[in-house]
Chain A
Amino acid sequence: MSEDTNDILNEFTNRDYEYGFSSDIHTEFIPKGLNETIVRTISAKKNEPEWLLDFRLKAFRYWLTLGMPQWAQLNIPPIDYQDMIYYAAPKKKEGPKSLDEVDPELLKTFDRLGIPLHEQKMFSGMAVDAVLDSVSVKTTYKDTLIEKGIIFCSFSEAVQEHPDLVKQYLGSVVSYRDNFFAALNSAVFSDGSFVFIPKGVRCPMELSTYFRINAMNTGQFERTLIVAEEDTYVSYLEGCTAPVRDENQLHAAIVEIIVLDRAEVKYSTVQNWYPGDKDGKGGIYNFVTKRGICKGDSSKISWTQVETGSAITWKYPGCILAGDNSVGEFYSVAVTNHFQQADTGTKMIHIGKNTKSRIVSKGISAGQSQNSYRGLVRVGTQAENARNHSQCDSLLLSDTSGAHTFPYMDIQNETAIVEHEATTSKISEDQLFYCNQRGISTEEAVGLIVNGYAKEVLNKLPMEFAVEAQKLLQISLEGSVG
């Protein structure tokens, strides 16, 4: 590659993190460390019923028996789980009745993030649940949704107001015994979002949760639970950012989705946690367990993710296709730069008959980063006529970065048709030359190619997020491209 192109790629891959400011919000902390007392304190702070405390304690005791998973293609420095605060919440009086009572600094924070909490200022057609550190600070458009019977509120609120629903579904897709981080989350989760779409309702607007880590030395452990009853549709968006800090902060979330007959859930994520600086200092450790179950016949779950942030990402959103004719989709763009590491992919578990899944994963590696796709397609013995197509492409933008693919295909039914393809290469010099000779500068050409490469996934994002995702891709990679 010519010097010129190298310079452009370097420039291209060196842009600062835009959301790195921190806000001066009065925050309430609990003491550092993790033990049963801490778990009980979190539960007490949230005024939780006995069964939920039991759930937490069981999870905590199980977590104590586990060790950190070592199998990922990641170099995770030792994490001191006792040197961390497990609950941090913006101080409030009685809980804001209206926005006027909310800390203005907090409103400003979300305004700066482009997430205004005043309903009149928002994109019409999107309800937002804003989560700062450990608690949800505001959920917008709640009343409009309630008219339709849709419940969209913070997880803590759901525990108080809809305990039966929470009890029925909590841990039904991701058990606390699922893995190390799932057990940790189940023990100390603080807040998150709860969505319930009753039978026959098509959610009239996009639902969105915005997660923000603000406090220092804290971990964020939120939990999202989405239940879509028969014949429903909902599109749920998730965004996240964190301030620039030299320390590494831990984010270990769980997302559970339950989809009944003929229902569809579209879950989109733009993950932009602070990735650390150019020398790999700081950044969020993003260890997330996301899974949905297509319980009903002809149901569908679609995961779309744009992963640009986090120092280390460990994340495999999955679909259990239990209902006949159910469909699972996974579209992902994962960008790693500087010293970021990502080991991400999906799991498609085919159980019902005539189930289909599609995986499109696009990895872009720059700087000294390592970017891995790890995915499982399992076709069970009863899963007649299962169909899967997986496509995993990797683009390398520097000679010091790494792109890896680890697909696992376990096929136990002869009627299955499973296909997997993957390619790894850099941007072809022929393509750049072609653009150059047609008057497109190398800089623009690289931009065009990267954008075109990720387009298939970006197109799957809802409009509002697609704009943000494209912007993010520019921040992460397209420094000098207009």
Chain B
Amino acid sequence: MQQYIDFFNSQRQKIDESCAPLLNSFREKAFDTFQGLGFPAYQSEDYQHTNLSALLKPDFGFYLNHPNAEINPHKVFPCNVPNLNSYKHFVVNGCYYREPMAQELPQGIFSGSLNEFAKQHPAVFSEYYNWQVDEKGDGLAAFNTMFVQDGYVLYVPKNVVCEKAFQLTNISGGKVDSLTNRRILVILESGAQAKLLVCDHTTDTQPLLAATQVVEIYAEENASFDFYELEESSPNTIRLTTNFVQQADSSQVIIHNITLSNGITRNNYQVDLEGEHAETHLYGMVIADAQQKVDNFTLINHHVPNSLSNELFKYVLDDEAIGTFGGRIIVVEDAQKTQACQNNHNLLGSSGCRMFSKPQLEIYADDVKCSHGMTTGQLDETALFYMCSRGISIQEAVLLLKFAFTNDVLQSIRLEGLRDRLKLLIEKRFRGELVKCQGCI
């Protein structure tokens, strides 16, 4: 931790240099918070299986000068998913990649660089940026605010409905061990609707690539937001994300987090349902083998009556992969008529893999319907036998069952092109044919 404090003190000017003054104005407070809190302690209740201090101990390099010139995303990542019509954006090593040609967006929507947004919409930026981190964040989120130099913003004004999805591709790469700090800010004003797909890729497999990412989502009254996150990085990556969601009356947020290949991943989700009839659907899918490690932690706070949350996380583990799911639902005293459902199902494929699951409910209101369920096991032998007795080879039978196991997460994806592509990717992943997303070189 001390290394980052020293680094921040010595490089402060360089960090600020290329950023909007408004963005820089948040660093000092974050620095104080980080000094006070540090990284969340290993083996504390919520970090029992991820040791952040140890993960971030190596002497990582920081990209303080905008490194865009080194990687042209269009060359390294010619993403071409059929039927996925989207506005494409890139963040390369933590910095927003400025396209030579601006894309035409529906009236009033801002989709682009965080620095740019701070300059164009200072009032909105000040109102929303870092508010949730300040209110609910831990040392890791403060760390991100200290160092973040750019990021992506999606701002959809009142009653604007955008059918076409936004796609943001995070690309990390380099020749030395590096740490990037990424930021996403999503603001949907009342009645707005949008969909965002975030893909994580790495161009190099060799150096250790670490990234922290903070996502702040604000869904005002009647807003609807679909957020898809797909991680397809390399075994030498560390991905630490913190996602905050704040929902007003009758808003709906659907989140999918899909980890297909990675190194070590920790995803935090904190959803605060502040408005009545707000709805959150949180889905996760993890396919991990080798020494992959995925730790998903979710916290859903029901602050008001009549809100709904639905969680479903599925893990398929093999080899020596380690999966962790920590889920907590808190229903406060006045949040009557809350409906909360939390499910975690896991398939273990080999004797070396491990699964740690901790679905938790904290209920302080009586007129609620809350439940959680967890299962961990292997494929059913009788089902395999049934298929084998009908002439299906054991390999195919295993594949079919695994695929069926993950399918309900995929079915809830509302981007048809993405859903079809994921089905294909997952099938290939199970067959051991997928090294990287087909769009990558």
Chain A residues within CB distance 8 Å of chain B = 1, 71, 73, 381, 394, 396-426
Contacts and interface: CB of A to CB of B under 8 A. Distances in A.
B45 interface: yes
Q: Which 9 A-B pairs have the closest CB atoms?
A: A414-B348, A396-B366, A417-B377, A420-B374, A409-B357, A424-B370, A423-B371, A426-B366, A418-B376
A155 to B, nearest CB: 36
Most chain A beta carbons < 10 A, residue from B349, B359, B363, B375: B363
Contact of B346 (A73, A398, A411, A424): A411
Nearest to A384: B351
A65 B362 CA distance: 32
Given A417-B377, A422-B373, A405 B348 contact: no
Given A1-B367, A414-B351, A420-B375, 10 more contacts: A71-B45, A397-B366, A401-B364, A407-B357, A410-B354, A414-B350, A416-B377, A417-B377, A419-B376, A426-B366
A411 B348 contact: yes
Given A411-B355, A411-B356, A404 B363 contact: yes
Contacts of A415: 351, 378
B345 to A, nearest CB: 10
B355 A407 contact: no
Contacts of A417: 375-378
B361 A404 contact: yes
B160 interface: no
A148 to B, nearest CB: 43
Interface of B: 45, 333, 336, 346, 348-351, 353-378
Nearest to A381: B351
29 contacts: A394-B361, A396-B366, A399-B336, A399-B365, A400-B333, A401-B366, A402-B362, A406-B358, A407-B358, A408-B358, A409-B355, A410-B356, A411-B346, A411-B356, A411-B357, A413-B351, A414-B350, A414-B351, A414-B353, A416-B348, A417-B375, A418-B376, A420-B374, A421-B371, A421-B373, A421-B374, A422-B361, A425-B369, A426-B366
Nearest to B340: A424
Nearest to A382: B351
Contacts of B363: 394, 396, 402-404, 424
A408 B371 CA distance: 16
A191 B122 CA distance: 72
Contacts of A426: 366-368
B interface majority secondary structure: strand
A414 B353 CA distance: 7
A405 B360 contact: yes
A414 B378 contact: yes
A409 B45 contact: no
B366 A398 contact: yes
B188 to A, nearest CB: 31
Given A421-B371, A421-B372, A422-B361, A399 B333 contact: yes
B70 to A, nearest CB: 43
Contacts of B376: 409, 411, 416-419
Contacts of B356: 408-411
A213 B155 CA distance: 66
A422 B362 CA distance: 12
Contacts of A397: 366
A17 B323 CA distance: 47
Contacts of A71: 45
A414 B360 contact: no
A73 B359 CA distance: 15
Nearest to B330: A404
Contacts of A411: 346, 348, 354-357, 376
A294 to B, nearest CB: 22
Given A73-B362, A418-B376, A412 B367 contact: no
B421 to A, nearest CB: 29
